[in-house]
Structures are given as C-alpha cells and as structure tokens.
Amino acid sequence: MRRTGAAERGGRCTRRTVLVTAATALLLTACTARAPEPSAAPAPTPTATTTGATPDGTLLVADFGADTVTFVDPGRGPIAAVPVGEAPYGLTVGPDGRAWVATAEGVAVVDTATRDRVGLIPYRTDSGPVTDGEYRGGGMGIALSPDGSRAYVGVNGPGTTGVLEVIDTATRRTTHVVAVGRRPFDVDVARDGSEVYVTGHDSFDVTVVPTGTLRPRRVEVAPYGTEGGLGSWLKPHYAAVRPSDGKLLLPFEGERLAVVDPRTGRATVERMTADTHQHGVAATPDGRLLVVGTGAVDPSDGKGPSLTVRAPDGTERVHPLEGPHEDVAVSRDGRTAYVTGGFTRDGYWNGITVVDLDDGRTRRLAAGARPLGIAVL
C-alpha cells in the first residue's frame, strides 16, 4: 500500500537512512556469500570456433566472471565462447556484425560471424591494475554511433573520476578522451548521433557530450538527493533514450523514474511500482521501457527481483524473477526479453532468464560466467 503526503515523505526519509546505512556497512565489510547456481541441466561446454555462421537471434553476453564473451542459442544455451580480456562488462554490436566489448584490459573487437577476437584496443587512460570485481578499473558502459564509425566507452578509474574514450572504429585508435562522472556504468547515444550520455553511478549524474565539440556538461540526476555520497544506494545505474522525444529515462528503486531532457538539464519524476532496487534498462522501438529489479536492499522494506515492462502511457506490468539480475535485451520481434543473471554484486548466477512479454512466463537458461552486458545478434 502506497503512502501519500507527509507520510510518504517520512517513509522515503526512513528508506533513505536505511539504504545509506546498509550501503555503508557493505562497503566496510567484504561480502563472500554467493547465491546457489540455478537448477538447470548442465550446459554444453562452449569453445571458440570459426566454422559455420552465427544464426540471427543468437545472444551474445559479456562474462564478467571470466575473460570471455559467450554466444548463446536462446533455446538451447551456450554454443561458443571467445576470449576477449579480463572481466568484460558492457558490449555493443554494430551493423557490420562486429561486437565491441569493454573489458578491464581494453576494448575487444569480436567478429560475431566467425566468432573470433580480431582486435584489442588498450585504454589511453591509466585505469589501474587489470583485475576483476565490481570496483575494477577499465571499461564499463559502451555504445556505438548510429553509423558505426565511432565507439564510445566509459572508463572507470578507481577512486577518481571516469573518462569517455572515443574510438575510430575504422582505424581502431582512440581519438579523444573526455572527463565524465565517477564509475560510468552506462553509455548511450542520441538517435541522431549528436550527443553521448554517460551515466556516472558514484557522482549522481549524467554527462552530456556533444559529438561535435566534445565539451561535456554535467546534469545531476538524484531524485532522492545525494545524501550518503559513495555509501548511498540511491544512485543512477543505467539509462535509456526514449524513442519518441530523445529524453533519458533513469529508474530508481522501483519507485521513481527520472525523465531528463539532456538539452535543458531539467528532470521530472514519474511514479514506478516494482518497489525494488533497479539496474539495467532497455527501450523498445514501440516505446516500452524494460527495467531490471535486483531485489530489496532492506528485505523489510521492498520487494524481490523483477522485470518491469512500462508502457508509453506509464502503466506497468511487473514480472517476478528468481534471484538478482543485471541487464536486459529484447528480441527483434519485441515479444521476448532476455535478462542476464550476472549482477554487479554478490548473489549473481550463471545464466539468463527468458521472459515471454505476452504472457509473463519465464524460463532459465544457462549462459556464460556471471553474464552482464547482452545483445541480440
């Protein structure tokens, strides 16, 4: 039951205090427990291969718990894995079928037809030692320009602000480095390619980077405020560009959707209904917004993992999920969602939940090692 008026304001203040306290405790205490793997039939052992074509509709996931990307048949499971570099996070696929993968070592280039890594572009920025885990340095969010001529990767520098590195995809060279917010979880591009949007998780912001001038401007996105700083859970994670008007959609806690006009920096807040900590998002061409819920930070105040499907008119269907998840992609016909079980924190599992968007039925599919980023080929 929803609170309103003064009661709601008091309730949100209580939640903010609880979440900040919980987050601070987690930052001070290392978590070692991990949820059990899904009960599913053993997946076939994938191997890199250069034989045969990769069928349309194959899924490609970034194995954050390994050094590979895994090709996944959405009906059968893993069919091949290709080494790309330590702890791959985000990935994006261009019109030529080449995937660009943000790893701790550099941006890997994968030919998805032959299933080969064909390049590794080191970062120009010093992102610290090559390692794994939630706070590792290196590439996080990544996106391509609409024509595929530029790749934009958000690079995390542990303990400092991040950068956006701009890569010429023809020469595979980094051409520019732009200062952005802390821990750039997500990178998105305007539909016309005129701007790049970098979501700074630890700085409560989106950095808007015009592709013509590359002069960044910061837009604060903090519908709960910035209390708690680095210890707060109430920070932005991923964004989606709304097809109808180019505004940015950033969900928070299954309660609030920040709608940001990147040109003016103004934000409005709309109500959401899942009541769960939220991470990955995807926008469909018909205007639906899909949002991954990872579960309540405080089990006494919030609901479990879910996938929210939000229609353009704001109505929502919330599909419960088993266990935390991280990111989501949608089939080309718009009828099926694929939700990765990798999760940036402990509690991840090695698979994908497949969600039928017509009737809400779900099934689990083994896939990779802590899969985070996902694309449909």
| Residue 277 located in a structural domain | yes
Euclidean distance between CA atoms 101 and 92, whole angstroms: 7
| Residue 22 located in a structural domain | no
* pLDDT tens readout for residues 159-203: 899 999 999 999 999 999 999 999 999 999 999 999 999 999 999
Average pLDDT, the chain: 89
* pLDDT reported for residue 37: 40
User: Does the pLDDT value for residue 27 go beyond 70?
Assistant: no
| Residue 2 located in a structural domain | no
CB 143 within 8 A of CB 189: yes
| Residue 87 located in a structural domain | yes
pTM to 2 decimal places = 0.89
User: Does the pLDDT value for residue 213 go beyond 60?
Assistant: yes
* pLDDT reported for residue 302: 95
| Residue 271 located in a structural domain | yes
* pLDDT reported for residue 299: 82
* pLDDT reported for residue 48: 44
* pLDDT reported for residue 52: 60
Average of pLDDT values for 199-209? 98
What's the CATH code of the domain at 305?
Answer: 2.130.10.10
User: Does the pLDDT value for residue 308 go beyond 70?
Assistant: yes
User: Does the pLDDT value for residue 292 go beyond 90?
Assistant: yes
Neighbouring C-beta atoms of residue 373, cutoff 10 Å: 27
| Residue 21 located in a structural domain | no
Domain containing residue 322:
59-376
Q: Which residue carries 């309540």 as its tokens?
A: 296
User: Does the pLDDT value for residue 68 go beyond 80?
Assistant: yes
Q: Per the structure, how many domains does the chain have?
A: 1
User: Does the pLDDT value for residue 119 go beyond 80?
Assistant: yes
| Residue 27 located in a structural domain | no
User: Does the pLDDT value for residue 28 go beyond 60?
Assistant: no
Q: Which residue carries 């599909």 as its tokens?
A: 319
Q: 3-state secondary structure string, the chain?
A: CCCCHHHHHHHHHHHHHHHHHHHHHHHHCCCCCCCCCCCCCCCCCCCCCCCCCCCCCCEEEEECCCCEEEEEECCCEEEEEEECCCCCCCEEECCCCEEEEECCCEEEEEECCCCEEEEEEECCCCCCCCCCCCCCCEEEEEEECCCCCEEEEEEECCCCCCEEEEEECCCCEEEEEEECCCCEEEEEECCCCCEEEEEEHHHCEEEEEECCCCCCEEEECCCCCCCCHHHCCCCCCCCEECCCCCCEEEEECCCEEEEECCCCCCEEEEECCCCCEEEEEEECCCCCEEEEEEECCCCCCCCCCEEEEECCCCCEEEEECCCCCCCEEECCCCCEEEEECCCCCCCCCCEEEEEECCCCCEEEEECCCCEEEEEEC
| Residue 263 located in a structural domain | yes
